[in-house]
Structure 1
Amino acid sequence: MAESFLFSLAESFITKVASRAVEEASLALGVYDDLREIKNTVSLIKAVLLDAELKQKQNHELREWLQQIKRVFYDAEDVINDFECEALRKHVVNTSGSIRRKVRRYLSSSNPLVYRLKMAHQIKHINKRLNKNAAARHNFGLQINDSDNHVVKRRELTHSHVVDSDVIGRDYDKQKIIDLLLQDSGHKSLSVIPIVGIGGLGKTTLAKTVFNDKSLDETFPLKMWVCVSDDFELQHLLIKILNSASVSDATPNLIHEENIKNLDVQQLQTHLRNTLAGKKFLLVLDDVWSEDRVKWIEVKNLLQVGDEGSKVLVTTRSHSIAKMMCTNTSYTLQGLSREDSLSVFVKWAFKEGEEKKYPKLIEIGKEIVQKCGGLPLALRTLGSLLFLKDDIEEWKFVRDNEIWNLPQKEDDILPAIKLSFDQLPSYLKRCFACFSLFEKDFKFVTYTVTVLWEALDFLPSPNKGKTLEDVGNQFLHELQSRSFLQDFYVSGNVCVFKLHDLVHDLALYVARDEFQLLKLHNENIIKNVLHLSFTTNDLLGQTPIPAGLRTILFPLEANNVAFLNNLASRCKFLRVLRLTHSTYESLPRSIGKLKHLRYLNLKGNKELKSLPDSVCKLQNLQTLILEGCLKLEKLPNGIGNLISLRQLHITTMQSSFPDKEIAKLTYLEFLSICSCDNLESLLGELELPNLKSLSIIYCGNITSLPLQLIPNVDSLMISNCNKLKLSLGHENAIPKLRLKLLYIESLPELLSFPQWLQGCADTLHSLFIGHCENLEKLPEWSSTFICLNTLTIRNCPKLLSLPDDVHCLPNLECLEMKDCPELCKRYQPKVGHDWPKISHIKRVNIKSSEHEN
C-alpha cells in the first residue's frame, strides 16, 4: 500500500524544490538547470500516479514501476534535504560574527569542492533515473489525473430489505431514530437526520430496520430508499429517487439508466416535483460520501416540495457530511454491547443451538469478540471465518492475529473500513499511516503525532498567521470527522483520542511496506522500511537496520550503546529519533552526524548527565525534548546554532540559562521549562518574537514571570511553582495581549488575579485554575472575558463565589467546579442559592467531596 503515498510525496517534493533555499543552493552548486528538469519530470509522473494506483492491482509490471518510482523519489528527497542542511549550515557560519572561523571549523564536515562534485553527481544520477521511469509511464496506458479527487471503489449498492431476526442489539437505536423521524420538525417542510459512524458499524442495517417498520407507514405514505455511494451527480440521483418512488407507489414507471440521455435535468426536476408534491415522504440516502455542499443544497431544494414533516434519513461515515446535510441533530451510532456482540458472533460461528457443545471455543470466542470492538461486520467476518470449524488452534489463530492477517472477502470488515482510507485525500494517507508505529490502545495527544508529521514533512506550509501545529490539528479534526478516531476530546488546542482496534489494524495494513511496529522476536525488519518502532528493549540489535531509515522510536528503558552508535553512524538520513525513559548517562558524539534529524526526544532519561556539544550541529532540528532529564547538568554549548528549533522542552540542573544563545532561536514557538529547581530567574530580558506557548512547571525557586515574553504567547501554563507570583510589579493591563489558554495550578502565592490579565479580555478562550489554596476571589472584571468558552476551577477552598455578573459571559459553554466546598454548595444545580446565575450555561459539572457518593 505504500504506493498510495506517492502522490502526496510528489506534491511535497515539487514544493520543496521550488523553495528559495533549495534554489539558492542549486545555483551555488551549479545544478540549477538539472534540478528544474527533475521538478518537471516529477510533475509528469505525478500526473498519472492516481490512475496508476487504481490499476496496479491487476498489473504486476505497473506495481513494480511504482516501486521504482518510490525509491527514486525518496532518494531525490534525501538529496534536496541535503541542500537544505548545507544552506542552514552556511547561514549559521555567516551570522556568527567574531567567532565565525571557529564556528566554520566546528560545523564543517567536508571539503566544499568535494561536496559540490558529489552533489552534482547525485543530481545527475537521479535525473537519469527519473527520465527513464517517466518514459516508461507510456507503457501502461495511464490517464492524466493531476488533482486528488479521483473516484475510489465503493461497496456494492444497498437495498432496503432486511430480516429482522438477523439484527441484534439495535432495538434502542431503532426506537431513537423512529422518535426523531416522528418528532415535530417545527413547520419545516423537510428535515434531515444523519446516522454517523465508522464502517462496519451497521448504519445501513439500522436504517433498513427503521425503513421497514410498520409504525411509520401511516406517517409516511411515500417511502424511498436510494443507495448513493460515490454517485452524487444530480441527474443520476434524481433518477434513483424517482425509481424508488415508483416502486413505493406500486405503479412501476422506471426510468432506466440507458434512457438517461432522453431526459435532461429539467425534465427530471419536473417529474420529481410532480411525484413528491403534497406528499409526506421518508427518503433514505444510504452511504453518502460526497462533501460537495453545492450539490446537496441543489438536491435539498428540489425535495422541499414534499408535505410538511417530510424527512430524509442519511447514513454516512463522515461527521463533516452529517453537519453539512443536517437540519436536526445527527445520531452517532455506537458499537454493540459485549453481550450483544457475543450473540452476533455466535450466530455466525455456529449452527443454531450448537454453540452449547463447545464451551472451550466459546471462551476463546469471547476474546475474539473483544477485538471486534462492537462492530457487527467484524463479528460477522470472524464468526463466518470459523463457521463449522472446531479445531481450538484455528480459533486461537484468529484470536491472536491482527485482522489484516486473516483471510477476507470483498464484503468483510477489512475491505469495508479500508474504503474510508481509500477515500482520504493523499495528504492524509501518510499521516494516518503513522498511527501504525504505536501499539493498540495507545492514548494519543495532539503533540504525539503532529510533531512526527512535521518532522517527516507530511504537513504543508501553513497559511499566514497559522502554525504547523494548527495544520496538524486541522488534519486530526479531518480524521476524526471521517470516524477514524474515537474518544475524541478537545481542550483548548489539545486533542486527546484513541484508535479503534480495527482502525489500528487498518493502519498496520496500509502502512506495512514503509512503517513497521516490531513486536516479536522472530519478526524480521523489513528490508526497505523507512519508519521503525520497537516495543521492547531486547529486540534491539537482533537484525541489521536499513541505512535509509527515517524514523526510529526506541522502547522504554533502552540501554544498548552499541546499537545506538551503529544507528548514529549508519542511518544518516534519520529525521526522527525518540529515546524516551531510557537509562543512558550520555549520548555518542556521532549523533552530530545526523544532519537530517528534525525531532530528538529524550524525555524521562533520568540518568542522562550530559549531551555532546555535537548535538548543536543539527541545524535541521525542529524539536528538542529534554523534559525529565533530572541529572542533566547543563544545556550543550552552542545551542543557539539550532536555528530551526521550534519546540524546546528543558529540564536541567543549571542555575541560569545561556540567554544569549537561546535568544538566537528566533523561530522558537513552544518553550517548556520543567523541574528546573535550581533556576531563580528566567530568560533575563531576551525576546522570542515567534513564541506562542510557554509552560513553567515544577520550578520551585522561580519568583517572577518573564514579562517581555507574555505579550507574544497565546498559551500560558504555570504549575507547581511555590514562589512564583503572577504579579508583574505593576497594575496596568498589558496592551495587545493575545492569550487564548491560561492554565494555573498549585500556586500557593496566588491570592488574587493580577491586573495585567485584563489585556486578554478579547482573546481568552479557556481558563483552568486548580489547587490554588489561598485564592480568595476572582476579580469582577473577569466577566469582561467575552471569548471565554471553558472555565474550570478545582480545589480552591477559599474561593467563595464567582463574579456577580458571571451571567454576562456571552460565550461560556462549559463550567466545571470541583472540590471547592463553599463554591460548589452555592452553585449546586437547582438547589444552590446562586444556581440561577449559571443555569443558562450548556454544560455545568459541579462536584465536591461532600456531594460524592
Structure 2
Amino acid sequence: MAESFIFSIAESLVTKLASRAYQEASQVIGVYDDLQDLKSSLLYVKAVLLDAEQKQELEHNHELREWLKQIKLIFYDAENVLDQVDCETMRKRVLRDCGTPKDKVGGFFSSSNPLVFRYKIAQKIKEIRKRLDKVAADRDKFGLQTIAFDKRVVHSRETYSYVVESDVIGRDHDKEKIMQLLMEPSHDNNGGSDHISVIPIVGIGGLGKTTLAKLVFNDERISESFPLKMWVCVSDDFDIKQLIIKIINAVSVSDTSSADALVVQQILRDMDVEQLQHLLRNKLAGKKFLVVLDDIWNEDRAKWIELRSLIRACGDGSKILVTTRSRSIASMMGTVPFHDLEALSLEDSLSLFLKWAFKEGEEEKHPDLVMIGKDIVTKCRGVPLAVRTLASLLYSKYEINVWESVRDDEIWNLPQKKDDILPALKLSYDQMPSYLRKCFAMFSLFPKDFEFHTYYVSSLWSALGLLPSPSKNETSLDVANRCLNELISTSFVEIVRDLGIYYFFKMHDLVHDLALYVAKDECLMINSDNPNIPENVLHLSFIEFDLFLKSFKPSLLGVRTIVVPTVHKDEHMGTNNEDLFPTWVLNCKYLRYLDLTDSTFEILPLSISKLKHLRFLSLKRNRRIRKLPDSICNLQNLEELSLEGCMELETLPKKLRNLINLRRITITTKQSVLPESDIASLCLLEDLYINNCDNLESPFGGVKLLALRYLGISMCKNLKSLPLDIHHFPELEDFSIARCDNFEWSNVHEDMNSVLKLKILIFCMVVNIPLSLRANANTLQTLVFLGCYELEALPEWVLNITSLKFLHFHSCPKLMSLPNDIHRLKALEVLQIEDCPILYRKYQPQVGEYWHQISHIKHSRIIR
C-alpha cells in the first residue's frame, strides 16, 4: 500500500533538483550534469505515477503494483544519494567557516576528499538513472495516462475541539437511557444496595460509543450526582498495573492541581501492584464516583474480576460505564443489560452529513448535491464516522461530478469482511493529496489511543522530509500545522486538549487501522506478537525495549526512523549501560529520526557522528547521561536536538556552532552559563526551550538570535532576568515563562518591548505580570494563563489587546473574575476556562451569574 504515495516522493525529488540552492551545490561538488540527467528520468516517470496509483488501487493489478514497488525503491536510493550531496555541502561550509588548518588538511586525506567524493557520488547517480530508465521503459504496457499535477485538495474548515458534543445528532434518546441507568440506585443480584453497577454500551466501530459516553460524562446532572468522575481509555491493553495507574491519575487530576498531578504520575512509576492497589483503595474509599472504561477489548474474565474487586472500595451508588465492540465482553462485565447502540436513522444520517458537508444554510442553494448526498449517506449504513468523514471530504466542493464520483466509486462494491476498514474511510484517504497521505501513514508507528502532540508530529514529518515546501516566511511548524488542520477537516484526527498555541489529538481505532493498512510495507510497530521485521521497512517503533536490543539484521541498514518507548526505572539498569545503545543503530547510516526518550544509558558513543543524515535526535528525560561526545556536533544535518530533562548533563558539547542546520533545541544542563557565542552562531534557530537549568541565572548577554520565533523557559529556579530586546530577537512571536521562582520582570523596558512581534504569550506559575507587556496590544493574538495558582485578578491592560483572538485559563483556582468590560476585546473568538472553580461558577453557560458578559463570544468552553 505504500505505493499510494509514491507521487509525493517523485515530486519532492524533482523539486529538490530544480531548486537554485541545490543546483549551485551540485556545481560546486561537480555532479551538476549527472543530476540534471537524473531529473529528466524522474520527470518521465513522474508524469504517469498518479494514474498508476489510481489504476493499481482500483484494478488490484499485481504486475502494476510490482512495477510501482521497484520505482519506489529506486526513489528511496535517489533520496539517499541527494542527501549525501547535502551532507557534503554542509561539511564544506563548516570546514570553511569553523575549521582549523589541521581540519582542512585532514579532510583532504580522508574519505571526504573532494575528488574521491565526486567520483563515488557520480557513479551512484549513474547507477540509479540506469535502473530507473530500465524500469521506466515498461510504463507504456500498462496504458498509463499523463497527469502532471495532483489536483486533490482538502478544504480546511474552522475547527475547535470543544464544539464536537454540540455537533452530535440522533443520540438524545440513547443519552437519556444511559442517564437513567446511572441515576438509578445500585443493586447487586441479591437486592443489596452496596454493589457497584456496571453499564456497558455496545456497538460496531465508528458508531459513536465513545461520543455517547462523553455526552453523558460531561452532563451537569452527572457532575452533581458523582463528586468524583474518572475517564480511563483502556483499548488493547488490559494490564492491571497500568489500569490502576490510569485510574489513580484520573482521580489525581480530579482532586489536585495539574502540577501536583504530574508529580503523582512520576511517583506511581516506582510503585509495585500491592502499593498501587492500596493507594487506589484509599483514593476511592467512601466516595461516590463514576468511572468510564472506554474501548474494552480483553475477554479475560479473571482480569476483569481482579480490577472490579480493587475498585469496590467506594461509597453507595458508584457506577462504571463501559464501551466495547464485543457483546460477550458486555455480558461478562455488565450488571444490567447492555445498551445496544444502533445505527443512525437515514434522516439523522442526512442531517449529520449536511452539517459537515456545507456551511450553515449553504445546502439550500444546492438541492442537486443534497440528492446525491442522500445516496452517499445510504451507503454509509448509519455509521456516524463514515458519514462525517465523507461529508468532510466534500466540504466546500460544489461540482456535481465530484459528488457523483464519490457516490459511484467502485470501493463500495468490494466484498467486506466483518473487521474491514470502512470503505468511506479508504475513499476519503484516496482523495487526499499525495503529501498528506504519507504524513498520515506515519501515525501507524504509534499504538491505538496514543495522544499526539502537535510539536511532536511536526518534528517527525519535518525530519523525514514529508512536508510540502514552505511558503515565504513559513516555518516547518507552520506547514505541519497546516497539514494537521487538513487532517482534522477530514475527521481523521480529533483534538482532545487545546492549550492555545498547541494541542493534543487522537484518532479513532478504525482510522488507526487505516493507517496500519496503508503503511504496512514501510512502517512497522514491533511488539512481542509481531517481532519479525521484513526487508525494506523504513520506519520502526519498538513497543518493548528488549526487542529494540535484539532486532538487528543487515537488511535494516536502510532504516530511516527509530522510535523507542519509555523504559521503567527498574529495567535495564546494569553497569554496562552503553549496551543500551545497540551497535546496529550506528550502522543505519541513512537514519533521519532517532527518538530515545526515557533511555537510561550513561554514554552516547563517539561514533554517533556516523549518522550524518540524522535530522532529529531526542535524549529527552535521560536522567543518567552526564556528558555528550563532542562528535555529536558533526551531525550537520541535525534540525532538532532534545536534551530536555537530562538532569545530570554537566555541559553542552563543544562546537555547538557546527550544527549549522539546527532549527530547534531544548536544553537541560547543570551549567551556570550557556555557550553564548556558539548559540549565537546558530543562524537558523527558530525554537529555543530552556528547562530545569537550576544553575542558570541569565541565559543570554548580548546574544542575537535573528531567526528565533519561539522562546520558552521553565523550572529554572535561579533565573533572575531575561532581556526581551527587539534588536536581539526581531522575529520573536511566541514566549512562555513557567515556574521560575526568582525571575524578575524589571528589565523588560517598554521602549524595547513596544516593537516586539509577540503573537502568543503564556504565563505559568506567574503572579506579577509586568505592565510593560501591554505594549504588545497591537500584535498579541493568544494569551494563556496556565497553572497560575496565586493569580487573583487580571491586569487592566489585557483589555487593550485589540488583536486578541484566543484567551485561555487553565488551573487558576484563585482567579476571581474576568473584567466587566470584556466586550471591549472585539477580536476575541475563543474563550476557554478549565479547572478554575470560581470562574466556572460565575460564568457557567446559561446559568452563571455573569454568563451574559461572555455569551457573545463565538466559541466558549467553560468546564470544571
Whether the 8 Å contact between 1:204 and 1:287 is mirrored in structure 2 is no
Give the letter aligned to residue 136 of structure 2: A
Residues 809/44 of structure 1: CA separation in 2 closer, same or farther (3 Å cut):
same
Distance in 1 of aligned mates of 2:632 and 2:647: 19
What's the CA shift string for 1:32-55, capped at 9, x where partnerless?
222111101101101111222233
Give the letter aligned to residue 63 of structure 1: R
Distance in 2 of aligned mates of 1:690 and 1:488: 31
Larger radius of gyration: 1
What residue is the counterpart of 2:33 in the other structure? Answer: 33
Matching of residue 734 in structure 1 with residue 744 in structure 2: no
Query: 1:102: Cα distance to partner?
Result: 3.9
SS in 2 for 1:532: strand
Give the letter aligned to residue 552 of structure 1: I
Residues 638/139 of structure 1: CA separation in 2 closer, same or farther (3 Å cut):
same
What residue is the counterpart of 2:516 in the other structure? Answer: 508
Distance in 1 of aligned mates of 2:671 and 2:804: 38
Q: Normalising by structure 1, what TM-score?
A: 0.69
Distance in 1 of aligned mates of 2:511 and 2:349: 29
What's the CA shift string for 1:225-275, capped at 9, x where partnerless?
9xx9xxxxxxxx99x88xxxxxxxxxxxxxxxxxxxxxxxxxxxxxxxxxx
Whether the 8 Å contact between 1:733 and 1:758 is mirrored in structure 2 is no
Residues 172/838 of structure 1: CA separation in 2 closer, same or farther (3 Å cut):
closer
What residue is the counterpart of 1:535 in the other structure? Answer: 543
User: Quick one: which of 422, 427, 430 aligns to 2:430?
Assistant: 422
Matching of residue 317 in structure 1 with residue 455 in structure 2: no
Query: 1:143: Cα distance to partner?
Result: 1.5
What's the CA shift string for 1:491-511, capped at 9, x where partnerless?
433132101111111111110
Whether the 8 Å contact between 1:800 and 1:823 is mirrored in structure 2 is yes
Distance in 2 of aligned mates of 1:206 and 1:617: 59
Whether the 8 Å contact between 1:609 and 1:631 is mirrored in structure 2 is yes
Give the letter aligned to residue 787 of structure 1: S
Whether the 8 Å contact between 1:174 and 1:210 is mirrored in structure 2 is no
Query: 1:837: Cα distance to partner?
Result: 3.9
Q: Normalising by structure 2, what TM-score?
A: 0.68
Distance in 2 of aligned mates of 1:424 and 1:114: 43
Residues 323/49 of structure 1: CA separation in 2 closer, same or farther (3 Å cut):
closer
Whether the 8 Å contact between 1:761 and 1:786 is mirrored in structure 2 is yes
SS in 2 for 1:287: helix
SS in 2 for 1:761: helix
What residue is the counterpart of 2:63 in the other structure? Answer: 61
Decide which moves more: 200-209 or 562-571.
200-209
Give the letter aligned to residue 724 of structure 1: F
Decide which moves more: 620-629 or 519-528.
519-528
What residue is the counterpart of 2:731 in the other structure? Answer: 712
Matching of residue 497 in structure 1 with residue 635 in structure 2: no
SS in 1 for 2:778: coil
Residues 26/778 of structure 1: CA separation in 2 closer, same or farther (3 Å cut):
same
Distance in 1 of aligned mates of 2:350 and 2:622: 61
SS in 2 for 1:707: coil
Give the letter aligned to residue 471 of structure 1: V
Give the letter aligned to residue 565 of structure 2: P
Residues 14/770 of structure 1: CA separation in 2 closer, same or farther (3 Å cut):
closer
What residue is the counterpart of 2:24 in the other structure? Answer: 24
What residue is the counterpart of 1:3 in the other structure? Answer: 3
Whether the 8 Å contact between 2:350 and 2:374 is mirrored in structure 1 is no
What's the CA shift string for 1:270-316, capped at 9, x where partnerless?
xxxxxxxxxxx988544399xxxxxxxxxxxxxxxxxxxxxxxx976
What residue is the counterpart of 1:597 in the other structure? Answer: 614
What residue is the counterpart of 1:76 in the other structure? Answer: 78
SS in 2 for 1:513: coil
Whether the 8 Å contact between 1:765 and 1:790 is mirrored in structure 2 is yes
Residues 104/481 of structure 1: CA separation in 2 closer, same or farther (3 Å cut):
farther
Query: 1:145: Cα distance to partner?
Result: 1.6
Give the letter aligned to residue 501 of structure 2: N
Q: How does 1:451-490 map to 2 (within 5 A)?
A: 451-490=459-498
What residue is the counterpart of 1:629 in the other structure? Answer: 646
Distance in 1 of aligned mates of 2:832 and 2:348: 38
Whether the 8 Å contact between 1:22 and 1:80 is mirrored in structure 2 is no
User: Quick one: which of 563, 567, 570 aligns to 2:584?
Assistant: 567
Distance in 1 of aligned mates of 2:84 and 2:598: 31
Whether the 8 Å contact between 2:500 and 2:808 is mirrored in structure 1 is no
User: Quick one: which of 539, 546, 559 aligns to 1:549?
Assistant: 559
Query: 1:754: Cα distance to partner?
Result: 2.0
Whether the 8 Å contact between 1:827 and 1:835 is mirrored in structure 2 is yes
Whether the 8 Å contact between 1:207 and 1:315 is mirrored in structure 2 is no
Give the letter aligned to residue 481 of structure 1: S
Distance in 2 of aligned mates of 1:798 and 1:64: 64
Distance in 2 of aligned mates of 1:596 and 1:433: 22
Q: How does 1:581-592 map to 2 (within 5 A)?
A: 581-592=598-609
Query: 1:746: Cα distance to partner?
Result: 1.2
Residues matched between the structures, number: 644
What residue is the counterpart of 1:696 in the other structure? Answer: 713
Query: 1:73: Cα distance to partner?
Result: 0.8
Give the letter aligned to residue 556 of structure 1: T
What residue is the counterpart of 2:239 in the other structure? Answer: none
Give the letter aligned to residue 667 of structure 2: I
Q: Which structure's relative contact order is higher, taking Cα pairs within 8 Å and 6+ residues apart? A: 2
Residues 637/321 of structure 1: CA separation in 2 closer, same or farther (3 Å cut):
same
Decide which moves more: 765-774 or 503-512.
765-774
Residues 664/55 of structure 1: CA separation in 2 closer, same or farther (3 Å cut):
same
Query: 1:428: Cα distance to partner?
Result: 0.7
Distance in 1 of aligned mates of 2:779 and 2:350: 51
SS in 1 for 2:807: strand
Query: 1:775: Cα distance to partner?
Result: 4.7
What residue is the counterpart of 1:112 in the other structure? Answer: 114
Residues 128/562 of structure 1: CA separation in 2 closer, same or farther (3 Å cut):
farther
What's the CA shift string for 1:434-472, capped at 9, x where partnerless?
000001110011112111110111012211121111111
Whether the 8 Å contact between 1:536 and 1:555 is mirrored in structure 2 is yes
What's the CA shift string for 1:332-363, capped at 9, x where partnerless?
xxxxxxxxxxxxxxxxxxxxxxxxxxxxxxxx
Query: 1:112: Cα distance to partner?
Result: 2.5
Whether the 8 Å contact between 1:48 and 1:143 is mirrored in structure 2 is yes
Distance in 2 of aligned mates of 1:506 and 1:15: 29
Distance in 2 of aligned mates of 1:621 and 1:479: 27
Q: How does 1:311-390 map to 2 (within 5 A)?
A: 317-319=390-392, 321-322=394-395, 385=418
Distance in 2 of aligned mates of 1:286 and 1:744: 51
Give the letter aligned to residue 810 of structure 1: K
Decide which moves more: 781-790 or 612-621.
781-790
In structure 2, list runs of 5 or more residues that go unmatched. 154-168, 177-203, 210-340, 358-365, 379-386, 400-411
Distance in 2 of aligned mates of 1:702 and 1:485: 39
Q: How does 1:710-789 map to 2 (within 5 A)?
A: 711-732=730-751, 734-747=753-766, 750-751=767-768, 753-772=769-788, 775=791, 777-789=793-805
- Calculate percent identity across the aligned residue pairs: 47
What residue is the counterpart of 1:95 in the other structure? Answer: 97
Give the letter aligned to residue 741 of structure 1: I
Whether the 8 Å contact between 1:69 and 1:133 is mirrored in structure 2 is yes
Decide which moves more: 115-124 or 491-500.
491-500
Whether the 8 Å contact between 1:568 and 1:593 is mirrored in structure 2 is no
Whether the 8 Å contact between 2:758 and 2:780 is mirrored in structure 1 is yes
Give the letter aligned to residue 417 of structure 1: L
Distance in 1 of aligned mates of 2:128 and 2:608: 28
Query: 1:538: Cα distance to partner?
Result: 1.3
Distance in 1 of aligned mates of 2:790 and 2:11: 56
User: Quick one: which of 113, 124, 127 aligns to 1:125?
Assistant: 127
Whether the 8 Å contact between 1:78 and 1:573 is mirrored in structure 2 is yes
Residues 59/731 of structure 1: CA separation in 2 closer, same or farther (3 Å cut):
closer
Q: How does 1:824-839 map to 2 (within 5 A)?
A: 836-839=852-855
Distance in 1 of aligned mates of 2:559 and 2:442: 14
Aligned CA-pair RMSD:
3.8
What's the CA shift string for 1:797-830, capped at 9, x where partnerless?
7755544532211122344556767767776777
Query: 1:121: Cα distance to partner?
Result: 1.1
Matching of residue 807 in structure 1 with residue 823 in structure 2: yes
Distance in 2 of aligned mates of 1:589 and 1:552: 19
SS in 2 for 1:791: strand
Query: 1:777: Cα distance to partner?
Result: 4.3
Whether the 8 Å contact between 2:17 and 2:39 is mirrored in structure 1 is yes
Query: 1:174: Cα distance to partner?
Result: 12
What residue is the counterpart of 1:287 in the other structure? Answer: 376
What residue is the counterpart of 2:156 in the other structure? Answer: none
